[in-house]
Amino acid sequence: MAAFDTLDDLADGQRVLVRLDLNSPVEDGEVQDNRRFSRHAGTVAELVERDFAVALLAHQGRPGRDTFVSLDQHADILAAHLDHPVEFVADTYGEDALAAIDDLDGGDVLLLENTRMCEEELPEEEPEVKAETEFVRTLAPAFDAYVNDAYSAAHRSHASLVGFPLVMDAYAGRVMETEYEANTAIAAREFDGQVTMVVGGTKATDVIDVMSHLGEKVDDFLLGGIAGELFLRAAGYPVGFDLDPEADLYDSQWEANHDLIEEMLDERGDQITLATDLAYEDPDGERAEVAVEAVDEKDVSFLDVGTDTAEGYADVVRESEAVFVKGALGVFEDERFSVGTVTVLEAIAETDCFSVVGGGDTSRAVEMYGMSEEEFGHVSIAGGAYIRALTGADLVGVEVLERAAAR
Ligand code: 3PG
């Protein structure tokens, strides 16, 4: 259990500064609604009901990227989820922000501008340095308490995440609490039965790092995606490299990881299950499959594990007491290549094993293919923080909440 205080420890009706993670996909300038809004709306609704005056902090994108936009649209999306007005001010800690904060009464909700538009939010520095910024020193006195609900950003040592808990009473919001508990389960809990981890996606370096940390905790890793092909390459099959010289999905990740992959296959190959067949797009645009043993030369892109592999993986899942998913087994956004990801997710949904599906993108497959979140133990809204939690690493945003509770 985490040693931080929660909303249960906070008396109603105060003025609170609340950090959310509303970082979202942006398409053609339009912020896309997603699970982060609905989850955080739960925390904010509780605060409204308990008559708190609420000012919200959040970030969007990174400077220089197309996704680095104002939070004005976020206010409308959040208001729709809450069914309650969310005022927006295009300022974070200047005069306009302070005036809007001053106007807040119990039950009011105000969203401040994108924290990353303030110079002092970035770069990553020690919490002590962030606590001294004008950002923190200006906003802190306007509130009775700080609440961090942004578990998915808690690996970042940014002012809005780590500065306030050093100078104010600080509490974990409901999303922070539930994400923390589910995502640290693999590092913190003992399971009697089989623990399985489904590993895929495009960020092979991240998942290989997770695998190398979890050798003791996981009985069976079921592989797909880019990491799956890199492991097949290490096992001697002619796959796991880029076909297009312009693309760089496989080759640099192979360079960075092949020693570790070979070592893992040597030392604990019996914990690692690789695909026996793979799927690709044939010249007619249809899904086609090939047995890994029958591949003489890679001349097509593999976009999913094959049906036999998917069914074998589903059987392993049905035998498991706990299943953790990190990354998709194929390009599930294209229905033709969703078989691996969906077959395994459906097997998890059918069984009553403890399960966590993490990594923003993979969890999208849950609703895309008509499954319900309730069928899983936990569907995480975290990406980088989920990876860190799986490897047992501490999150700086959680550490400062624990320091605040200890004071
Ligand atoms: C996320 O979307 O995973 C978090 O909000 C962190 O975003 P960042 O990787 O841009 O820091």
CA-nearest residue for atom 9, ligand 1, is: 384
Percent of the residues in the chain that have a pLDDT greater than 70, as a whole number: 100
Is the pLDDT at 1 greater than 80? The verdict is: no
Q: Which of 19, 22, 23 for a ligand 1 pocket mutation test, highest count of atoms within 8 Å of Cβ? A: 23
Over residues 70-78, the mean pLDDT reads 98
Over residues 127-132, the mean pLDDT reads 98
Please give the distance, rounded to the nearest whole angstrom, from the Cα atom of residue 196 to the centre of ligand 1: 27
Q: Which CATH superfamily includes the segment(s) 7-180+395-406?
A: Phosphoglycerate kinase, N-terminal domain (3.40.50.1260)
| Average pLDDT over all residues of the chain | 95
Q: Would the CB of 156 count as within 6 Å of ligand 1?
A: yes
Is the pLDDT at 228 greater than 80? The verdict is: yes
Report the pLDDT value the prediction gives residue 153, as an integer from 0 to 100.
97
Atom of ligand 1 nearest to the CA of 385: 3
Report the pLDDT value the prediction gives residue 131, as an integer from 0 to 100.
98
Q: Which CATH class is domain 185-390?
A: alpha beta
pLDDT digits (tens, 9 = 90+) for 147-188: 999 999 999 999 999 999 999 999 999 999 999 999 888 888
Is the pLDDT at 245 greater than 90? The verdict is: no
Q: How confident is the model at residue 141 (pLDDT cuts 50, 70, 90)?
A: very high
pLDDT digits (tens, 9 = 90+) for 265-295: 999 999 999 999 999 999 999 999 999 999 9
Percent of the residues in the chain that have a pLDDT greater than 90, as a whole number: 90
Would 7-180+395-406 and 185-390 be classified into the same CATH topology? yes
CA-nearest residue for atom 4, ligand 1, is: 153
Q: Would the CB of 115 count as within 6 Å of ligand 1?
A: no
pLDDT digits (tens, 9 = 90+) for 33-73: 999 999 999 999 999 999 999 999 999 999 999 999 999 99
Is the pLDDT at 192 greater than 80? The verdict is: yes
CA-nearest residue for atom 7, ligand 1, is: 153
Over residues 366-371, the mean pLDDT reads 93
Is the pLDDT at 216 greater than 90? The verdict is: no
Is the pLDDT at 360 greater than 80? The verdict is: no
Kindly report the three-state secondary structure assignment for every residue of the chain.
CCCCCEHHHCCCCCEEEEECCCCCCEECCEECCCHHHHHHHHHHHHHHHCCCEEEEECCCCCCCCCCCCCCHHHHHHHHHHHCCCCEECCCCCCHHHHHHHHCCCCCCEEECCCHHHCCCCCCCCCHHHHHCCHHHHHHHHHCCEEEECCHHHCCCCCHHHHHHHHHCCEEECHHHHHHHHHHCHHHHCCCCCCEEEEECCCCHHHHHHHHHHCCCCCCEEEECHHHHHHHHHHCCCCCCCCCCCCCCCCHHHHHHHHHHHHHHHHHHHHHEECCCEEEEECCCCCEEEEEHHHCCCCCCCCCEECHHHHHHHHHHHHCCCEEEEECCCCCCCCHHHCHHHHHHHHHHHHCCCEEEEECHHHHHHHHHCCCCHHHCCEECCCCHHHHHHHCCCCCHHHHHHHHHHHC
Q: Where are the domains of the chain?
A: 7-180+395-406, 185-390
Q: How confident is the model at residue 201 (pLDDT cuts 50, 70, 90)?
A: very high
